[in-house]
Amino acid sequence: MTTTHYPSVPCREVTDRKGRVYRVGESDVDLMGRTRTLMVVLPWVGMTGISSAELACASAGGTLHEAQAWSGGHIFRLLGVWVFFQAATAYPAGLLRESGRLPARTAMSLGAVGALLGYLWLTVVPDMAVSQIGFGVLSGIGAGLVVATCLNTAGKWYPERKGFRTGFVSGGFACGSVPFAVLVASGLDLGAHRAVLAAAGIGLCLVVAAAGRSLEDPPKNWWPAHVDPLRLTGDPKARRALRRNPPAVRQYTVKEAVRTPVLWRMWLCLLCTAGVSVYGIAVLVPFGDESGFTGRSLATAVALTAVAYGTGSAAAGWISDRWGRRNTLIAVCVVLGTAQFGVLVSGQAGSMPLLLLCSVVCGLGGGAVLPLFAAMTADHFGENNNATIHGLLHGSALIAGLVATGVAALVVGTWDYHGAFVLAGSIGLASAVPALFLKSPGRPDARRIVPNPHPLGEEMSLT
């Protein structure tokens, strides 16, 4: 171990035997003048505000269908464009954030403006092709900036116990759709939908921009002052989390991370799970409508899915801190795949209670995906380049969004909903296979360590 002291500031850098550097000695209050809890609450507020675009559009799909004369395929394509640009923004946003050229405040402000323009575009442009450019592109890019900023900011301030915090922040991504689902369930007047969308865009723009004004990142390699990174800490919660999810052996650069097989296993697993999750949200309303369920019942199902999505995010982070990130992800893959078969059975049986139950399960599984991969990226590759590496990994959601929202319409038209749900469920279950092989790069496998046949005592006795 080596220690470097900085006489001008109350901190020092320590290096473990693997070569990873930790900056210790500074507390969150020393750096910001307030506790780091605020760096979890504000990102949650930002995620809640920006998330409403995707899930609210799905919640109000029936209203938009009648008011704008858009078909179900139009809604598919609109959501597909939004998901595409939201995912495509993750990598360049992370690159700019880590280089210091895009501060957190600026990213949040740009994201807020993008969301506002997207909502206003829907209110004044009834043409579907033009709406894809306005709402899908502008709002999608804005959401990508906010998501990349919020998730990574929370994780950087809690390097020793990032699971629950990342999950809590990610859970805000579903909460924004609940008010829209309630409005639809209560009977949204077709003539008032433009005013509702405009008011929502203005309000959420202000919320996201306000949440971003106080966001800031910790210094590179920062570690909480009360947690010793070189030995077991006295904090039982941190000790348990670090034992189940040990920190990365060193800070990987993007090029180094790309060369590791584990990154591409994570990419494949996220591609499958994100695709199944987005598909479940996109087809819930049209499938329920075809199965004979009422509009208000479907709005209730979407609202419950959104609430479960948020709950699943926080719960997955909390469980992963105790059970391990990989074990939790495997369980989520199984649950997410099984739930697709449950939704299909509920529709065929015409059972609304079963549909609601399966919708909740889908929400729990879908909500757990994003925070698990966000926390796992930092666990495997470190926090310094986490935004860029996670942005590269999140690019798999770009393909998943296209497949789930664009190709799903083709699959439903060819195989009907039965074949589509069987395919989605099978992909969800199969995604557990690459999850089995996710191990932090550079860390030796304990099962392959051969004990020394000549312990120190024997060697000294023979000399």
Task: Decide which of 388 and 396 is more confident.
Answer: 388
Query: pLDDT tens for residues 434-446?
Result: 999 988 887 766 5
Tell me which range, 116-130, 160-174, 292-306, 449-463, is most confidently predicted by mean pLDDT: 160-174
% of the chain surpassing 70 pLDDT = 74
CB 306 within 8 A of CB 175: yes
pLDDT at 249: 86
Provide the angle, in degrees to the nearest 10, between the axes of the packed helices 72-88 and 261-290.
160
How far is it, in rounded angstroms, from Cα 88 to Cα 83?
A: 8
Q: Report whether pLDDT(360) > 70.
A: yes
Tell me which range, 61-75, 158-172, 333-347, 398-412, is most confidently predicted by mean pLDDT: 333-347
How far is it, in rounded angstroms, from Cα 229 to Cα 12?
A: 13
Helix, strand, coil fractions of the chain, as percent rounded to 5: 75, 5, 20
Specify the pairing of strand 2-6 against strand 21-24.
unpaired
Tokens of 228: 């010793």
Residue 214 burial class via C-beta count within 10 angstroms: exposed 0-12, middle 13-18, buried 19 and up: middle
Q: Which domains does the chain have, with CATH numbers?
A: 36-222+252-442 (1.20.1250.20)
DSSP characters over 73-97: HHHHHHHHHHHHHHHHTHHHHHHHH
Query: Which residues are paired to 24 by β-bridges?
Result: 12
For residue 136, name the pLDDT band (cuts at 50, 70, 90).
Answer: confident
How far is it, in rounded angstroms, from Cα 293 to Cα 254?
A: 48
Q: Report whether pLDDT(412) > 70.
A: no
Task: Decide which of 226 and 430 is more confident.
Answer: 430
Q: Report whether pLDDT(260) > 90.
A: yes
Tell if the pTM clears 0.85, that is, is over it.
Answer: no
Sheet holding 21-24, edge to edge: 2-6, 11-15, 21-24
The torsion of the CA quartet 193, 197, 203, 207, rounded to 10 degrees, works out to: 130
DSSP characters over 188-242: --GGGHHHHHHHHHHHHHHHHHHHHTT--PPPTTB--TTS-TTS--S-HHHHHHH
Question: What value does the mean pLDDT take over residues 248-256?
Answer: 88
Q: What Rg value do the Cα atoms of the chain yield, rounded?
A: 23
- Point out the least confidently predicted range of 84-88, 111-115, 179-183: 179-183
Owner of token pair 């089995």: 436
How far is it, in rounded angstroms, from Cα 400 to Cα 197?
A: 27
Q: Which of 229, 111, 106 is nearest to 161 (CA)?
A: 229
pLDDT at 4: 43
